[in-house]
Amino acid sequence: MIRFDAVTKTYPGGTTAVDGLTLEAPTGQITVLVGPSGCGKTTSLRMVNRMIEPTSGTISIDGRDTASMDPATLRRGIGYVIQHGGLFPHHTIERNIATVPLLLGTDKSTAYARARELLERVGLPQSLAKRYPAQLSGGQQQRVGVARALAADPPVMLMDEPFSAVDPVVRTQLQAEFLRLQRDLGKTILFVTHDIDEAITLGDQVAVLRVGGHLAQMASPSELLAHPADDFVADFVGRDRGYRALSFVDGVLPALAEPTVAVGDSAELARERAIDGWVLVTDDERPLGWYAVGSPGDQVTAERLALGGTLARQGGTLRAALDSALSAPSGRGVVVTDEGKLAGTLTAAAVIEVIEQQRTGRDRAPAVQDDPSAEPRIQHSPGGESP
Ligand SMILES: Nc1ncnc2c1ncn2[C@@H]1O[C@H](COP(=O)(O)OP(=O)(O)OP(=O)(O)O)[C@@H](O)[C@H]1O
């Protein structure tokens, strides 16, 4: 556990970046520090590995006051990941990852072999080992940064906006991979971001800081969204926090059977099976996209499919379910099994009904049908107009 006890940092010149901060980051969990620019997140993080010394107060790791430890020894037990990966440009990827093990005296071939293993661990091919950082994409560099921090297998990791220099799609991927990795590794992580969405996605608990380095609230993501401590936190977590909170609610979703066609089927069959002008096209039970009745041609072809609707996983969150319905051109969100096979579809209205039922604690919604043929649809109007 990392513990801050009444920690204050005043820089020469008089700026108090962190003021009387007390908080605990539990062992094996991700604690996120989030807050507006200049609220003291980076200063707080860098005081843990003593790149910055506190003006007063103590920081301890597993009960040991860090001020009593030799900074070099302290840092060996702490992985540190920063924006852009912070890689040495003139060193190969494997040399970058092996930096700390080599410093600690591990022989080169062992350190490089481990570096290549770590590359795979963070989702990169070993073939990148001999390249230089400039020959990698931003997302790949970030992954290497994580691999480098993991190389000495430190129990504690400090991560300062590690995913903020990449585009939103890559960022979402990196977050998901990072969470998978953490499920295996169980490190004690202190993670800094200014992005509340990232904080609630990654944090087991989230500390919201306000400018001046004051802790405004420390809570689990769902608690933070449901019960912001004050106007500042409410404002910071945002106006759509009710929608975000759906990320934490798993629902038993009332998916209904959805008739399907395959690529190559006739436009006539598609028209017969369509509901409100749209029919779902699948391949071996996997959803491919939606086909609009009245599309040119007499066959369903892959080029004519409307793509872009998100998929909701069976047993997933209500946010994902609602998003799938809102993003589907047919208005029917596609629910899939863990294997990616079609489980059924649902409308936004059906998701809202589940939300309402959960809110009022009334009876549970009907379960997802495992067998799409088991349940007839509520509405069926073949040949309807395309939207
Ligand atoms: N070396 C320094 N000397 C003087 N003031 C500093 C120094 N480093 C940071 N500060 C000030 O301390 C305050 C907190 O800075 P810090 O970098 O910790 O904030 P932050 O929350 O990480 O911000 P950001 O999200 O913009 O990176 C700011 O007002 C900043 O200007």
Compute, in angstroms, the gap from residue 233 CA to the centroid of ligand 1: 20
Contact between residue 251 and residue 320 where contact means Cβ atoms under 8 Å apart: no
Q: Which atom of ligand 1 is nearest to the CA of 194?
A: 25
Compute, in angstroms, the gap from residue 151 CA to the centroid of ligand 1: 29
Q: Checking DSSP bridges between strand 30-34 and strand 286-292, what pairing results, if any?
A: unpaired
- What average pLDDT is seen over the chain? 87
Compute, in angstroms, the gap from residue 40 CA to the centroid of ligand 1: 6
Amino acid at residue number 140: Q
Report the C-alpha gap between 33 and 192 in whole angstroms. 5
Ligand 1 pocket test, candidate residues 4, 9, 11, 18, most atoms within 8 A of CB: 11
Q: Which residues lie with the beta carbon below 6 Å from any ligand 1 atom?
A: 11, 13, 15, 17, 35, 37-43, 194
Q: Which atom of ligand 1 is nearest to the CA of 160?
A: 22
Band the pLDDT of 139: cuts 50, 70, 90.
confident
What's the whole-number mean pLDDT along residues 310-322?
86
Residue with the larger pLDDT of the pair 304 and 90: 90
What's the whole-number mean pLDDT along residues 321-343?
91
Give the residue, by CA position, lying nearest to ligand 1 atom 13.
17
pLDDT digits (tens, 9 = 90+) for 211-220: 888 999 999 9
Q: Name every residue whose Cβ is closer than 8 Å to that of residue 240 and which is 6 or more positions away in sequence.
A: none
Compute, in angstroms, the gap from residue 87 CA to the centroid of ligand 1: 23
First-last CA distance in the chain: 55
Choose which CATH entry (2.40.37.10, 3.10.580.10, 1.10.1740.10, 3.90.870.40) describes domain 260-360.
Answer: 3.10.580.10
Query: Any idea of the CA torsion for 249, 252, 253, 258, to the nearest 10 degrees?
Result: 150
Contact between residue 149 and residue 76 where contact means Cβ atoms under 8 Å apart: no
Quick one: which H or E segment has residue 187? Answer: none
Choose which CATH entry (1.10.1330.10, 3.40.50.10860, 3.40.50.300, 3.40.449.10) describes domain 2-239.
Answer: 3.40.50.300
Helix ranges (DSSP H) in 93-214? 93-97, 99-103, 108-121, 138-150, 168-185, 196-202
**Every domain of the chain and the residues it spans:** 2-239, 260-360
Report the C-alpha gap between 303 and 162 in whole angstroms. 38
Amino acid at residue number 357: Q
pLDDT digits (tens, 9 = 90+) for 148-201: 988 888 899 999 998 887 777 778 878 888 888 898 889 999 999 999 989 988
106: tokens are 């591990």
Band the pLDDT of 361: cuts 50, 70, 90.
low
Lowest mean pLDDT among 277-291, 300-314, 339-353: 300-314
Report the C-alpha gap between 105 and 93 in whole angstroms. 19
Helix ranges (DSSP H) in the chain? 41-48, 71-76, 93-97, 99-103, 108-121, 138-150, 168-185, 196-202, 221-226, 231-237, 241-245, 267-273, 318-327, 348-360
Q: Name every residue whose Cβ is closer than 8 Å to that of residue 377 and which is 6 or more positions away in sequence.
A: 256, 257, 258, 275
Q: Which of 356, 289, 301, 295 is closest to 327 using CA atoms?
A: 289
51: tokens are 């790149």
Q: Which atom of ligand 1 is nearest to the CA of 40?
A: 18
Contact between residue 178 and residue 186 where contact means Cβ atoms under 8 Å apart: no
Q: What is the DSSP letter of 299?
A: B
Give the residue, by CA position, lying nearest to ligand 1 atom 6.
11
Give the residue, by CA position, lying nearest to ligand 1 atom 3.
11
- Percentage, residues of the chain above pLDDT 90: 54
pTM: 0.75
Give the count of beta carbons closer than 10 Å to the beta carbon of residue 158.
27
What was the pLDDT predicted at 216?
95
Band the pLDDT of 51: cuts 50, 70, 90.
very high
Whole-angstrom CA distances from 230 to 40, 210, 233, 235, 239 are 19, 12, 6, 9, 14
Token pair 């990791």 is found at 157
Give the count of beta carbons closer than 10 Å to the beta carbon of residue 115.
25
Ligand 1 pocket test, candidate residues 21, 43, 195, 209, most atoms within 8 A of CB: 43
Compute, in angstroms, the gap from residue 20 CA to the centroid of ligand 1: 16
Q: Report the complex ipTM.
A: 0.96
Contact between residue 62 and residue 154 where contact means Cβ atoms under 8 Å apart: no
Amino acid at residue number 133: P
What's the whole-number mean pLDDT along residues 97-118?
90
Contact between residue 38 and residue 234 where contact means Cβ atoms under 8 Å apart: no
